[in-house]
Structures are given as structure tokens and as C-alpha cells.
Amino acid sequence: MSNITQVTSSMASASLSNKAPLPVGHQPLAEKKPKEVNQEGTPVQIVTNMRKINLEKNHSIFKYSVQVLFVYQKSDGTELVLEKSKSVGSGCDHERSKSHCLRVYRKAAKQCQELKSGGPFCYDSQGCLYSFSKLKNDEFSTNITGSDISNNPKFLRVEFKLAKVQESFQTTTNDVAKSVNCRPALQEKTILEAMNQIVSTAPINHPNVLTIGNCVHYLYDDTNIDIRSITGEGGKSSAVGASKSVRTLEGTGKTPCLYMATELKTTLFHPDNCSLLKVFMDYRGFNGSLKANSPFVLKNKNAFIGLWCYTTHGKCSDWKDDRPMIKIKDFGLSAKETTFERDNKKISVFNYFQVKYNMTLKYPDLFTVVARGKDGKNQHIPVECLDLCNSQTVRTEQMVGTEQADLIKLAAAKPHDRKKITDTVVNSIGLASEPKGIISVGAPESVTGLVLPKPDIYFSGGKKVFWNDPKKRGPATDFMPAGTFIKPTKLTNWEVVFDNGVQLVDCIQHLTSTMRQLGMEVSNPTVSLINRGYLRSIFENAKAANRQLIMFITKSMNNYHTEIKCLEQEFDLLTQDIRFETAVKLAQQQNTRKNIIYKTNMKLGGLNYELRSGVFSNSKRLIIGFETSQRGGLGDAPIAIGFAANMMSHSQQFAGGYMFVKKSADNYGPVIPEILLTILKQAKANRPNDRPDELLIYFSGVSEGQHALVNEYYANQVKAACGLFNESFRPHITLILASKVHNTRVYKSENGGGVCNVEPGTVIDHTIVSPVLSEWYHAGSLARQGTSKLVKYSLIFNTKKNEKLSVYERLTNELCYEMQIVFHPTSLPIPLHIAGTYSERGSQMLALKKPIYTNGEFNQVATNEQLGYASKKLFGTRFNA
């Protein structure tokens, strides 16, 4: 198999472009498949969280640009102008700019004749205003003053300017259909943008609602909501709210309709109106003389990094929300220990505060906060001189102890609770408010879904899974093995490794007997011991002995797993890691033994069972998945792209790997040709008589805004890879996007008006989907706690014009049963599921071994060669099973 260097060289010789051609969006997406009747499956009634937005016809909506210019007096008497209506970035600084702009707009609306009549008006707190009436003048401006606008003594005025936009100035309530187009570049989205803002106007103006961004609204007082709250260290507390999105969907009539999706949000917040010192004091183990390298700081550091704070010292102390704002970068030496140059002399922060502010610090021996100063250099600020900015959400990396687990439990509401709470929150925050009756928001839409039939699953000897087996326990989509492996492997040269002094030799017999019971041919293993936690010698000896597999059985407390997998890659030796605590119970737990062996057989290149159905009858369909965990990439740092395909000797055997790329807005496009070429060569080597006639590729994590990119750039990259493989190779190409990043929730209707989770295999492909391309929602697996969230699939590119949509729905559903290790379906089809595990493995490798840089630039080829599997013999196996 060609390694990454050879593939990259081939690409270069073919003059492939790694940049998307611009502009994109003028080529049509795959034509929407016609509706089908009499599809196989069981109809089911579904309640959604999608509410139809009904618009009165023939109403115009006008769009105006807004400028909010804050004018201050400089020390030399000249004026400094800061525009706050074009705030960039995120965080408290951006939210403060929005708050200032909204404050100015409200005052302008009271004193400007143009805004006193007409409307209603909907302002986004930045640079855009929508009006249901045309203003008398195309543009106007006014000056706003007063201490209610700014407490900065150098504040002079705000220049509020409003003008009609040059493009898309006017839209109407009749233009909904224009907001979608099979050619994405031709979509006229003004009406959609306007309605997204209009439905948020009531929450934004509600005194009991906090709005983050323009689409997530939280209740300050949620005592009337039937949901428990949680608290955390440092005064953290949870809040409940809802996010909303407005989309143009197929609807129930002949023309597209607007729908609003509302999703329940439970979020942890840092305390409001609180000093940073008080927050620290709420943490166990804090005292006023801790150093930056103390165990307390090392343990809790991440809980504070990234927090925004106001400074409280000096002349700015009474400026309220006009005070200078900093973002915590790190912690440094104490105020007594930290020095800097002032007037050509060194001075400590402690002495500086005495001289400059006539302030004697109460905690001079406490670590200081490190933040970026105006000159870009680090500044050290005493903890006692900072107040937390209000309304800060707690990011995942800032959570400590059980906070993340508690929040997950809080969010995992059962279906009937989630629906009830969501509906109550939506009404409480005002998302259903109606401006002058021009719009009305309907009740949650109900649709008919279809529960697809379960696949036919066979084990060796033609033994078929009996779905209604009375011995079976658990959900209806769980199944019991019907026999031995369809393709068992031989394991004749392997090794079991224990910690020195913690052997459990008896478990080996339980494992080998289970292997034989399931059809494997197995010899007894060599037994080795780990001395003083040193693993490398184990791999060196196993490599010399040409072992097929090293099975580690060690205690959880040793946490060898990541190192084992890194050494697996380095030595090109297959490994399996089993917890000692699990192995102790193997004698009594038959299912646990089998689960271990199911994984072993797959790692060694076997196949536990196979699916036999019409959609799986084509062994020449090459099915591929691309996924990225997105971890390990900060800025343009590298990330791991995981991929998987049925490129092994059996068309239902999936294997894959990962590739490191420089993180960018488009992570997949540049690497599609080399990954596909590698897959095609591997498939040819393993199944020389099954030349693919279709490439079916799933991509996860691609946004709707990138549909055109996939349709034009990705499709061309796939074609380029086919040409590199063989000039005459022209298979059918199907590109499907899979996403869980959406606000759609669905519930199965129950008799009596209740709701429950939908069954695995449920598909919805009408009403709440796109009106211009083929989409469907699919429940792959059972939600074992909380409310299930379906995966949305979008068919973007498809050369098989006559293939029915139901074929792809059935195939996607059955691919969720191809896990082979646990006998129940997964939420994603197996190529995406496996690609995700490879991406995570790659991220772990990056975290432990670090990428390679040459002259300060990420060296993609060298990093993949050293840390990847593409040039290893393990590539093409399911080494990460």
C-alpha cells in the first residue's frame, strides 16, 4: 500500500488543487427525489418542536443599516470615535457592545420622530434594523447624550446613524420561497434573516430574559419552570432557557413555509455582581497567600482561564459597565514579587498600587492575574482588584468536580418532561409573541414517520437472528447472537500481559474457551509481566517474536491505555486493553467474555455476522465515512481527520485510519483525494474482483452553509481521486452529509396525548425537511437516557438519478447495525462511527507525541508519516475496534 508521502507525490504530479474554486454555489445540488408511496415499514405519529410561522401576505419588510458611534474626548482635546455596532468576536466585550447599542437605540427611538411612528421595528443590537414600514427618509442621524448611556467622564455623545441598505433593502412576506434554491448562491435570504431577528425581538426586550448572541434566551428567574437547578463551586448556578432557529422547510402545502425550532437549554453560569476574590474564597483550599504554582492553582486553574473581569481600581472604578475589561490568561507571581519598569526603575506591583492609586493591597502575597495589556504585553493585576463580568456561561473546560456530569444529567430530560418544559420556557421568554398580528406562531407540528424494518442478520451456518426471541431482554432493537462467527480468525501467536504481582492467569482459559466456542482457532498465549510500569520492552520483545496480538490486563489506576495505543502505532503491533477489574469477573459473566472476543475477532480481520438484504446485495458499493473530533486544534493547529470504508476482504468489513491536517474552515476538502486514493488501492488489493461501481460517502460536521462547497469542490476532489486511481474509473458518486448540530427534536405520540422516545429505525423525510433537496431525519439507536436526538441526512451530490431515496434511508439504517461488537444499533452508520473513533485516536496521539513543525510551519507529511497508520501493516484492519 502506498504511504502518505507517495500519495502526496501522486497528487502533486496530477496538479490537484487544495483550494476550493471561488465562487461556488451556482451549480445545482442533487435534485430532490420524488415522494414514494407504499414504503416498507410501520407508520408512526410524531410530534416535533417545529412551529410553523404563518405570515400575512403582502407585507413589506425594510432593512436599514445602523451605525452607533461613541465619541470620547482625548487628553489633547481631539475626539476619539469608536463604532460599537460592528463588534467582532465573542464573549463579554462583544455582549457589552450589544448592550450599549441597544441602550442607544431605545433612547433614539424615544427622541427621533422617524422612529416614533410606523414599524414595528426589530433591532439586532448591532448594525441592522428591520421595519414593517418604510421610513420617511432613506437615512438620518441624531446625537444621543446622557449618563444613562455612558459613565465614562470623557464620553461626549453617541452619533446614531440609520440608512437603508444598498442591497436587499426590501423583502415581503410573500418571498419565503425565494429563500431556498437548489443553487445556493441564488438564495435570497433577507426574509429568513429578518424573521430570525423578528421572533427574537420580544425575548430581547423582556426584562426577565438574558439573550446570548441573537438566538439563545435564558430566564433570570426560572422558579415557575418545573426543572431542578444545580450549583457549583465559586457560586456557579444553572439557568434554563431556549435556543431558536428559523428555517424554510417543505411544509404541508405546495409552497415552502417558515418554521421555528425551539430547543431547551440548561447551562451553568458564573455568578453575577461578584468579585473575583469572593469566587476564589468559595473554593475549598483557598487562602490569601497562595502561589501560582501551588496545588490549589494547578488543580483549579482551568476553571478561571478565559473569564472576563472588570477592573475596580483607579479612576475607572465607578464607571459601571464602562470600566476596563480584561480576560484571564494565566496566573503569575504575587504583587510583591512581580516587578516592571517605570520611569527607568523597577517597581513591584504592590508598590505601584501604593504610589499610583494610594491603595495598600490586602493580599500582597497572593498570586496575580495575568491578562493581555493594551500594548499586547502581559499585565499582572491583583485578584482583589477584579470583578466578574455578568452573564458568563461556564465553558466545559471551566467545570470542576462533578459539574459537567451534573449538567448532563440536568439536560437529559425524559421526552414528556422535555416537551412540557420546552413549551413552558418558549412561552415564558416570549418566542411566540406576534408583532401587530402580521405573524403568528403555530403549535408544534405533527407528522407521520416510518419505522423501517430491522435487517436480516446472519451468523455462521445460515443461522438467522430471531428478533422476537422470548429469551431476549432489553429493547426491541437489541439482538442475541444466533451462532458462531461468520468469519472467525486464527490466533496462534499472541501474548497476555499483566502487571508484575497482579496476575490473573485463570482468566486466560475463560477467554480462550470463549474464542473456540465462537468459532475461532486459538493457541494458548505467552504470558508476560510489566515491571515498574515500563511498557516499551514488552513491545520490543513482542515485535521480535512476531506476535499477532498483545492483550493487556491491568488495573485501571495504572492508566496505561494511551501509552499502549501510542506504542501500538510505533511498533505496528495490534493491542487490546482490558481492565483487571473486568477480567476478575469473567468466570461469572459470559456476556462480558463474549464482548471481549467480539472485539478480538474484529481486530484480527474477522467478521462476526453479516447483513443480508436488498440494499446490501451490491458488494461493489464502496461506503466511506469522514469524521473529525475537532479536538487538539487551537487556531490553525493540526487536527485529526478520521475515515473508514468497507475496504477489507468482505464488503461488510470496515476499517480506516486518521490523517492530520492543519485546522481550517474546510478540513476535509484538501485531503479527500489522498485518503480516497488510499482507500481505493486497499479495496482493490483485498477484493480485486469487486471494482466499485458507486462511491457512497458520508461526511459529518459539515454545515448547511457549505452545501455548495461539497457539491462542487468535494465532488471534484472525489472525481480527481478516481482519475488518479485509474483514468477509466468512473463510478457513480453519492455525497451525504450527516449532522446532529441542529435544533430539531421529535417525539413519538402515545395514546392519551403523551409522548415518548421514537424507536430506532424511525425516519422522517417530509414536512420538516428542505423543500429543494432530499433530506431525512433518522433515529439510529435507542436513547437509553434522556430524549433521543435524530441525525439529519442531506443528499447533496448524486449521479444515480433513478435511485430512490428509500434505498439510502434503508442503507443508512442497516449500517447502524454493523457495529459487530455490541449487538444493538449505533446512532450513526458504521463508517461514520468508526471514523469518529479513529479521529479520537489521532487526537490522543497528537496530545501525547506532538506534531512536527519545520521552520515554524506544521509539516503535514512528516507528522502523518511518524504518527499515523497509513504506512503500517495495521492499516486496513480494524485496529481501533
Mean pLDDT of 623-634: 75
Q: Which of 603, 637, 656 is the last residue of a domain?
A: 603
Residue 786 counted as domain residue: yes
Q: What is the CATH number of the domain that holds 689?
A: 3.30.420.10
pLDDT higher than 90, residue 663: no
pLDDT of residue 637: 76
What is the extent of the structural domain holding 635?
A: 610-855
Distance CA 295, CA 59 (A): 64
Residue 667 counted as domain residue: yes
pLDDT higher than 90, residue 412: no
CB 309 within 8 A of CB 328: yes
Which residues does 441 contact at the CB level (< 8 Å), separation at least 6? 51, 52, 53, 54, 199, 260, 431, 432, 434
Residue 402 counted as domain residue: no
Residue 383 counted as domain residue: yes
The cell numbers describing 787, all together, are 430524549
CA 67 centroid distance within chain: 34
User: Per-residue pLDDT tens for 7-37?
Assistant: 444 444 444 445 555 578 999 999 999 999 8
Note the residue count of the chain: 881
CB 167 within 8 A of CB 105: no
Q: Check residues 597 and 847 and name the one with the higher pLDDT.
A: 597
CB 110 within 8 A of CB 148: no
The cell numbers describing 540, all together, are 520490543
How many other CB atoms are found less than 10 A from the CB of residue 373? Answer: 12
Least confident of 203-217, 464-478, 816-830: 464-478
- Check whether residue 714 and residue 643 sit in a common domain: yes
- Check whether residue 361 and residue 427 sit in a common domain: no
- Check whether residue 680 and residue 776 sit in a common domain: yes
CB 699 within 8 A of CB 714: yes
Q: Which of 324, 357, 389 is the last residue of a domain?
A: 389
- Check whether residue 416 and residue 293 sit in a common domain: no
- Check whether residue 678 and residue 756 sit in a common domain: yes
Least confident of 67-76, 538-547, 747-756: 747-756
User: Per-residue pLDDT tens for 52-107?
Assistant: 999 999 999 999 999 999 999 999 999 999 999 998 877 899 999 999 999 999 99
pLDDT of residue 433: 65
Nearest by Cα to 549 from 577, 529, 521: 577
pLDDT of residue 9: 46
Least confident of 198-202, 431-435, 473-477: 431-435
Q: What is the CATH number of the domain that holds 358?
A: 2.170.260.10
Mean pLDDT of 495-520: 92
How many other CB atoms are found less than 10 A from the CB of residue 601? Answer: 26
- Check whether residue 626 and residue 767 sit in a common domain: yes
How many other CB atoms are found less than 10 A from the CB of residue 442? Answer: 14
Q: Which of 574, 603, 632 is the last residue of a domain?
A: 603
CB 694 within 8 A of CB 732: yes
Pairing state of beta strands 694-700 and 621-628? parallel
Residue 160 counted as domain residue: yes
CB 815 within 8 A of CB 832: no
826-835 in b/e form (b: 16+ CB < 10 A) is bbbbbbbbbb
CB 343 within 8 A of CB 312: no
Mean pLDDT across the chain, nearest whole number?
92
Distance CA 592, CA 266 (A): 36
Nearest by Cα to 263 from 421, 446, 124: 421
- Check whether residue 281 and residue 313 sit in a common domain: yes
pLDDT of residue 421: 93
pLDDT of residue 54: 92
CB 183 within 8 A of CB 26: yes
DSSP, collapsed to helix, strand or coil, labels residue 643 as strand
Residue 635 counted as domain residue: yes
CB 852 within 8 A of CB 862: yes
- Check whether residue 632 and residue 775 sit in a common domain: yes
Q: Check residues 776 and 136 and name the one with the higher pLDDT.
A: 776
CB 661 within 8 A of CB 15: no
- Check whether residue 109 and residue 187 sit in a common domain: yes
Is the whole model's pTM more than 0.85, yes or no? Answer: yes
CA 579 centroid distance within chain: 30
pLDDT grade for 119, boundaries at 50, 70 and 90:
confident
Distance CA 829, CA 738 (A): 10
- Check whether residue 255 and residue 286 sit in a common domain: no
Mean pLDDT of 795-809: 97
pLDDT higher than 60, residue 824: yes
pLDDT grade for 707, boundaries at 50, 70 and 90:
very high
Nearest by Cα to 608 from 484, 444, 443: 484
pLDDT of residue 582: 93
The cell numbers describing 739, all together, are 449532522
Bond into 23 cis (ω within 30): yes
pLDDT higher than 50, residue 408: yes
Measured in degrees and rounded to the nearest 5, phi and psi for residue 849 equal -110, -15
- Check whether residue 616 and residue 592 sit in a common domain: no
- Check whether residue 692 and residue 565 sit in a common domain: no
Question: Which amino acid belongs to residue 262?
Answer: T
Residue 349 counted as domain residue: yes
pLDDT higher than 60, residue 251: yes
Q: Residue 172 carries which DSSP code?
A: E
pLDDT grade for 385, boundaries at 50, 70 and 90:
very high
Residue 214 counted as domain residue: yes
Q: What is the CATH number of the domain that holds 496?
A: 3.40.50.2300
Q: For residue 506, what are the CA distances in angstroms to 576, 588, 589?
A: 18, 12, 14
Domain count, the chain: 4
